[in-house]
Structure 1
Amino acid sequence: MSCFLLYNDGMKKYLTGEFAKKAGVTERTLRFYDKKGLLKPSINPDNKYRMYTDNDFIKLQNILILKQIGFSLEDIQILISRKDRKSLVDMLNTQKELVNQKLDYFRNLKQAIEVTEKSIEGRRIDWDKMMHLMHLLTGDGIIEHYKDSHQLTTRISLHQKYTVGEVDWYDWIYSQIKLTHTNRILEIGCGEGSLWMNRKISFRHREIFLSDKSEGMVESARKNLGNDFNFLCFPLENIPFKDHYFDVVIANHTLFYLHDMKSGLKEIVRVLDDKGIFYTTTYSKNHLKEITNIAKEFDNRITLSDEPLYEVFGMENGKRQLKKYFTDVEMHIYQDQLLVTSASDLYDYIMSCHGNQISVIGNRSDEFIAFLEDKLKNNGLLVNKEACLFICKNM
């Protein structure tokens, strides 16, 4: 006899044992996911039994696939917290894309193993191919690359959707950069290439190099921009170009991530032409402060950054640091506002930050989203943006 019940809403509801059997998992697994807040059953008010529905099969499938691909339970909690149909479709597309990347990785790994095997059988070991195999065996990095790209896209999206002002951040930066008579340009920390999207750029006698320390970001930029640009992956502290090679170097919201600011700025000066220009951006201590405040109002333990990045390199101290390496440093201030009206978009933004919010919120995602919905229900959330661009030269 089947152990499911049919309720007035027409949806089948299963007792824990029947659901576990149909799903091919153990009851212990279901209890574990319940405890973690990943898959919580409803409670029958008449007999207090835990009941699962057909919709829970879909949610469980998402959990199992993401776990199989390599996501941690904390990451899965964020990814499955949205319950609308569009989010479900986006989730399935994400899973499909990541599976395709995994398949490509294992095809490359198989080819590398076969080439190495033939090399050994021929008694002539090709050490370059051996090192390539070792590099592949140390891990595919697909999940970390996805998370880097997804987090950046989420943060950019909030600005694009809810900016009050007429001038977009990237448009504003681009308008400040003097491209005339510049033949070689380097952007450090290019992300997904947002600065260069939808631009009419002449590549005649001009080379533009886009770099990031994340291979995933570089690959995303390549997909977004095509082959007119040159793409590289390297840390800022070790730029693989000869002295005085570039007319322009750009670092958008990048310097505050440096482990060694002194080495990074020395490298930039080294590769920059004597008459070249360095453009770099940062923000002030008041930038997006309202988002930090609303997160802390929910739980005062939340911090949205492991350390205050504006203290490392910000509007308040950036010019002083740059003057050690450049004789002429101009600061141009960018002020704007966001009017955020979607609790789910604000939730996604907060969860994409580099702080402790994931561990603090834990399995309270639904509670946090409800809290944000209540805060935004009347007039939304008005958020102040305060950032700047430093234009640096050696006169």
Structure 2
Amino acid sequence: MHLPKKEGINMKEKMTSGEIAKQAGVSTKALRIYDEKGLLKPVGHSDGNYKLYDKSSLIILEKIIALKHIGFSLEEIKCSLENYEQSSIREILEKQLEMMDQKIYELQKAAKCIESALARFDENPDWDDIADIIRKMEMSQGADERRWYAAEHAADGIEWYEKIFNSLSFEENDTVLDLGCSYGLLWRKNWDRIPKGFNVLGVDIHGNWAADLYNYLEDNRETLPEGSDIQIFFSNLEKDETWEKIREKKYYKIIAHYLLSYLHDDAYFIQNVAQVLAPGGMFSVNHYGEAVKEYNFWEKCLTEASLDISFALKKRQERRQADAEFEALLSENFDRVEKIALPGPLAFDSTDALFDRMQMKYPEGGKYLEDNRDAIEKYFATVLLKDGSVTVDMDSTFYHCYKREG
């Protein structure tokens, strides 16, 4: 972008629309739009009723041109001009850079969804298939964002996938089926802890993060312990032909973490898992149920802030019912089911971060929370954060399901 040089130019005290437009290198139509939007008003009118501008108008116009060039919308430019005294140039530019980074990220996510859809074209999908693929890819991206969020706020400093790995008690010569293996963080984050003779078959659809895991394995497989191997099988876990292939052998440990929300039929999936689990084996699975400790925390906050908690109690009851139904399904297919709670405390040091977390847990109560934001943030500031940061104690529930020997 090249702004007009003012050196050596004998500017008039007042300029018409055409003159200031030429000076700044814009069209008179653009000036009319800026006038209509309230960004640049004329300072007066000539005897012939022509709009007039002055030197300060040119400075404002140059700022409009600069901000528009770096991606500001006219509404954002108007806000910037109106709050000029409150915001420094650095603050304005830093905020815009943050917004543009977010837009770039959103475009990258959209591109990944398209890549995922294109990767399935060899299966002759219809538009319903494509819509479902994109929905699942968006869910996968949301899961990534939740993981980054949890890592940012983790209060104990322990890698989440190390905790999960520890809970699974892997042993030498285990045969493992990793359903919905995705990016393979369970293996990547514990690569040096994989036992000898350890064999994993990961299953996921084409066009997902599993493609990245496949490439990672190709580059790193030779560093696995003696007799160990991890392979990827690209196939759809909602298709009978996928399970026909999987049923060719039995597996001593089966993992399905952060997968069920992508599937249409939990019962079909669980029944197939039970068929391929070896006698004496264990199946580890999770789903989004009642987050008891965290729900307790937010209900206490709302109560002490003298606010209505009916929406929170409704959410808890819905998740509790979902837990009961899921546990019944597991009990129908396995001989023993245990609930394993893995701690994942999160630390927060600002009212904004706490409020965002509360909204994340109660999207259904979003309007009520926003309407009462001042009261909630006052409680956070005066009670929770009065001595610094606050830790929200929370657990994630995993179900370990066993098949008896023989």
Q: Is the 1:218–1:231 Cα contact (8 Å) retained in structure 2?
A: no
C-alpha distance in 2, partners of 1:230/1:250? 14
The 1:383/1:172 distance shift into structure 2, 3 A limit, reads same
How many Å apart are 1:308 and its aligned residue?
3.9
Q: Answer with 1 or 2: which has the greater Rg.
A: 2
Q: Which one of 292, 308, 332 corresponds to residue 324 of structure 1? A: 332
SS at match of 1:324: helix
How many Å apart are 1:352 and its aligned residue?
7.0
SS at match of 2:332: coil
C-alpha distance in 1, partners of 2:269/2:29? 58
Q: Provide Cα deviations, 1:305-337, integer angstroms capped at 9, x if missing partner.
A: 8994453236xx765543332223333332342
SS at match of 2:269: helix
C-alpha distance in 2, partners of 1:213/1:381? 40
Q: Which one of 150, 167, 184 corresponds to residue 193 of structure 1? A: 184
The one-letter code matched in structure 1 to 2:179 is I
Indicate the structure whose relative CO is greater, using CA pairs within 8 Å and at least 6 residues apart: 1
The one-letter code matched in structure 2 to 1:208 is V
Q: Which one of 295, 308, 321 corresponds to residue 311 of structure 1? A: 321
Alignment of 1:280-295 (within 5 A): 280-282=285-287, 284-289=290-295, 290=297
- Note if 1:334 corresponds to 2:342: yes
Q: Provide Cα deviations, 1:233-253, integer angstroms capped at 9, x if missing partner.
A: 424685521165322111224
How many Å apart are 1:211 and its aligned residue?
3.6
Q: Provide Cα deviations, 1:202-221, integer angstroms capped at 9, x if missing partner.
A: 59754423345694344465
C-alpha distance in 1, partners of 2:391/2:214? 35
Q: Provide Cα deviations, 1:164-206, integer angstroms capped at 9, x if missing partner.
A: 2354432121012233244532223445433223222659754
- Note if 1:216 corresponds to 2:208: yes
Q: Which one of 261, 265, 268 corresponds to residue 263 of structure 1? A: 268
C-alpha distance in 1, partners of 2:197/2:128? 40
Q: Is the 2:337–2:400 Cα contact (8 Å) retained in structure 1?
A: yes
The 1:135/1:257 distance shift into structure 2, 3 A limit, reads closer
SS at match of 2:279: strand
Q: Is the 1:193–1:224 Cα contact (8 Å) retained in structure 2?
A: no
Q: Which runs of 5+ in 1 are unaligned?
A: 6-11, 31-40, 64-81, 113-128
How many Å apart are 1:99 and its aligned residue?
5.1
How many Å apart are 1:225 and its aligned residue?
6.3
The 1:159/1:138 distance shift into structure 2, 3 A limit, reads closer
* Corresponding residue for residue 18 of structure 1: 30
C-alpha distance in 2, partners of 1:212/1:356? 32
Q: Provide Cα deviations, 1:131-189, integer angstroms capped at 9, x if missing partner.
A: 64x65997487864653233112211222122223544321210122332445322234
Moved more, 168-177 or 234-243: 234-243
Q: Is the 1:243–1:270 Cα contact (8 Å) retained in structure 2?
A: no
C-alpha distance in 1, partners of 2:19/2:141? 39
* Corresponding residue for residue 275 of structure 1: 280
How many Å apart are 1:269 and its aligned residue?
0.6
Q: Is the 1:184–1:248 Cα contact (8 Å) retained in structure 2?
A: yes
The 1:295/1:249 distance shift into structure 2, 3 A limit, reads farther
Alignment of 1:354-373 (within 5 A): 355=363
Q: Is the 1:145–1:214 Cα contact (8 Å) retained in structure 2?
A: no
SS at match of 2:146: helix
Q: Is the 1:249–1:279 Cα contact (8 Å) retained in structure 2?
A: yes
Q: Which one of 232, 235, 240 corresponds to residue 234 of structure 2? A: 232
* Corresponding residue for residue 151 of structure 1: 142
Q: Give % identity.
A: 13
The one-letter code matched in structure 2 to 1:339 is A
The 1:287/1:219 distance shift into structure 2, 3 A limit, reads farther
Q: Which one of 229, 237, 255 corresponds to residue 250 of structure 1? A: 255
C-alpha distance in 2, partners of 1:142/1:261? 18
Q: Is the 2:251–2:281 Cα contact (8 Å) retained in structure 1?
A: yes
Q: Is the 1:211–1:231 Cα contact (8 Å) retained in structure 2?
A: yes
Q: Is the 1:187–1:210 Cα contact (8 Å) retained in structure 2?
A: yes
Larger helix share, 1 or 2: 2
C-alpha distance in 1, partners of 2:158/2:358? 24
TM-score (norm 1): 0.57
The 1:245/1:236 distance shift into structure 2, 3 A limit, reads farther
